[in-house]
């Protein structure tokens, strides 16, 4: 994987963020997602790589672009698998709340789990707690393990959980253990990545979210030296069959980091669409837009925060069109 590819991918997430941010707070999540997807796809055509989408907007008959199996890049450069979420947090943008991101990840060909669009139970932590967590252990035991690893009391640990009815038991156990909780409406890729940055104030992620988002988070945490564990949670026979076709015959199998993203190299990039603990969202000032992006590479361990200033005069695809 070429070093220059890292910076090229920043242009992809920046374009998606700029396009979708125009829809912030307007209650139209589909339009925001379409804008991000179109912008991301257009820039991918210029990237020097031979990419194949393994996690995207759906199957070929479900999505007009960035569908699973679609070829990306200009046909030159390394052969890579690509995972994308052009707008991670469509509801967040529609409501104008926190932590919406434009996200992508790439890994060497054949090294990324082709996660089906179903639920995944997850637990994620940053570098200090690697090797200390166990998705099969109790919430309380994991909280104690993270507290010990980070040299603080359980009462000072902050857990992030998607605010869903299915998580009532987890939420209650966290409270009973004396830890603190940050309940989030959406966006568990951001929540998982936040565990690896001290200034976000987040120590651990618990709960069930999307499996594709779990793989994206795994690539980010691989670059950061963190850890995520996951277990697929099929809801019906059809989803169980998809697991079997992937070669996962034991539905209780714990997917470790190397199961989610193998190999020694991967790149993760995310641009803030709305403000969050980690990244500022897009701001528009006259004919200019500003972005903030984090881009990381596993092989080098490099993490870059990039502030972008963009002229929008010659970018009509970034201008919102009314119906």
Cα–Cα distance measured from residue 267 to residue 106, given in angstroms and rounded to the nearest whole number:
5
What sections of 178-312 are H helices per DSSP?
188-194, 211-224, 237-245, 257-260
Binding residues: 33, 57, 85, 88-90, 119, 164-166, 186-188, 210, 213
Give the H/E segment covering residue 94: helix 90-95
Which helix (H) or strand (E) segment holds residue 148: the answer is: helix 139-149
DSSP-assigned beta bridge partners for residue 230: 122, 255
Binding-site residue set for substrate? 88-90, 119, 164-166, 186-188, 210
Pairwise CA distance, residues 123 & 160, whole Å: 10
Contact assessment for residue 55 and residue 112, using Cβ atoms and an 8 Å cutoff? yes
Rounded CA-CA distance 229/12 in Å is: 28
Q: What does the H/E/C string look like for 19-62?
A: HHHCCCCCCCHHHHHHHHHHHHHHHHCCCCCEEEEEECCCCCCC
- DSSP type of residue 2: -
Q: Which residues make up each annotated binding site for Mn(2+)?
A: 33, 57, 85, 88, 213
């Amino acid at each position: 994987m070429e070093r220059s590819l890292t910076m090229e991918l920043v242009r992809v997430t920046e374009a998606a963020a700029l396009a979708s941010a125009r829809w912030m707070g307007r209650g139209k999540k589909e339009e925001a997602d379409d804008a991000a997807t179109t912008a991301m796809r257009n820039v991918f055509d210029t990237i020097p790589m031979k990419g194949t989408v393994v996690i995207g907007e759906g199957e070929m008959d479900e999505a007009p672009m960035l569908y699973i199996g679609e070829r990306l890049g200009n046909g030159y450069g390394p052969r890579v698998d690509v995972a994308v979420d052009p707008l991670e947090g469509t509801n967040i943008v529609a409501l104008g709340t926190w932590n919406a991101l434009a996200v992508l990840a790439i890994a060497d060909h054949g090294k990324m789990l082709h996660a089906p669009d179903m639920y995944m139970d997850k637990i994620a932590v940053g570098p200090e707690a690697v090797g200390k967590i166990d998705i099969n252990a109790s919430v309380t035991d994991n909280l104690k393990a993270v507290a010990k690893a980070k040299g603080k009391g359980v009462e000072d640990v902050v857990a992030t959980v998607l605010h869903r009815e299915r998580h009532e038991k987890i939420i209650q156990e966290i409270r009973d253990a004396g830890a603190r909780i940050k309940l989030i409406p959406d966006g568990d890729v951001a929540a998982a990545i936040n565990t690896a940055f001290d200034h976000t104030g987040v120590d651990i992620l618990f709960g069930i979210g999307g499996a594709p988002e779990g793989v994206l988070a795994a690539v980010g945490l691989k670059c950061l030296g963190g850890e995520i564990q996951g277990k697929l949670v099929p809801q019906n026979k059809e989803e169980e069959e998809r697991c079997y076709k992937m070669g996962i015959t034991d539905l209780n199998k714990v997917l470790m980091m190397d199961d989610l993203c193998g190999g020694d190299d991967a790149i993760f990039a995310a641009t803030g669409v709305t403000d969050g603990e980690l990244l500022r969202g897009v701001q528009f000032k006259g004919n200019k837009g500003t972005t903030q992006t984090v881009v990381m590479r596993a092989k080098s361990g490099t993490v870059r925060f990039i502030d972008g200033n963009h002229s929008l005069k010659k970018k009509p695809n970034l201008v919102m069109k009314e119906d």
